[in-house]
Amino acid sequence: MSDDDRAMLRYATASNVGTLNDEFNRQAAYAGPHLLLIVEGTQHLSSPCSPSALAVEEFRRLDFPADPSTLAPSLERATDDLRGIFQGFLADKPLSRGTGALLTAMRWQGTHAAIAHIGSTRAYLLRGGELTQLTRDHTIGQFLVEAGRITPDELGSDERYVLTLRRLDGEQGEPADITIHEAAIGDRYVLCTDGISRVMSSGTLRDILREEASELQDIADEIAGMAFPVAEYGRFTCIVADVAEAPR
């Protein structure tokens, strides 16, 4: 029997509201047996819609078993459909321009996964004790790193570098990144909002995720809790998920 036949997802979510009441930013997480989703909604005060709620409603429909070959196309359609929803919603509401979503979604079938990503949310993999970032930030800072203008160590929490260059909104913009990922039993994943990645080093995150004896919920709570004391950020949300062996 292959890993794909024996694999299942175990998951936990955690969120902390922090100390800043940011009226322009709303976050949401969804975790199910076939879908993990983390969303940061960008919302103008005059907009009555909740971008993160719209994103969850659109993507949660994908939380069911599917042929692995359909995982990536289904995420691509979901991101296109969500952009269309924003376009329709904001068509006659010019004061609500800027409403949209930054998101990372993983759709699963066994050990096969597809990732949809746009913005500054992130997905990481812990495998063999080593942490790898699976997504690429669509930010000014990442652009400068790739251009050789600054080093990754210079990013830190500098406000100049966190401006996002891509998001899903009511405008015609660049599409989300869609990638294929092959997992293995024993892998551990974390999806998180940019507040966590800005205040927590990759080494600290790796060390927390290595805590094999801890329950997943405790690990998720620890990640969100360690970010909480930082006063200049408003909210910290994460999903921690293991690819585990299903009960026989």
Could you tell me the pLDDT band of residue 247, with boundaries at 50, 70 and 90?
Answer: confident
**pLDDT for the residue 233:** 54
pLDDT (average), residues 12-38: 80
Distance CA(152)–CA(130), nearest Å, equals 18
**pLDDT for the residue 99:** 79
pLDDT beyond 80 at 35? yes
Nearest CA among 143, 139, 141 for reference residue 155: 141
pLDDT beyond 90 at 241? yes
Q: What is the pLDDT of residues 52-69, one digit of tens each?
A: 889 999 999 999 999 999
- Top pLDDT among 144 and 235 is at 144
Range scoring the smallest mean pLDDT among 2-6, 18-22, 42-46, 112-116: 18-22
**pLDDT for the residue 242:** 97
Q: Which domains does the chain have, with CATH numbers?
A: 3-8+20-121+136-189+239-245 (3.60.40.10)
**pLDDT for the residue 228:** 61
Range scoring the smallest mean pLDDT among 14-18, 19-23, 165-169: 19-23
Distance CA(57)–CA(184), nearest Å, equals 29
Reported pTM: 0.90
pLDDT beyond 90 at 194? no
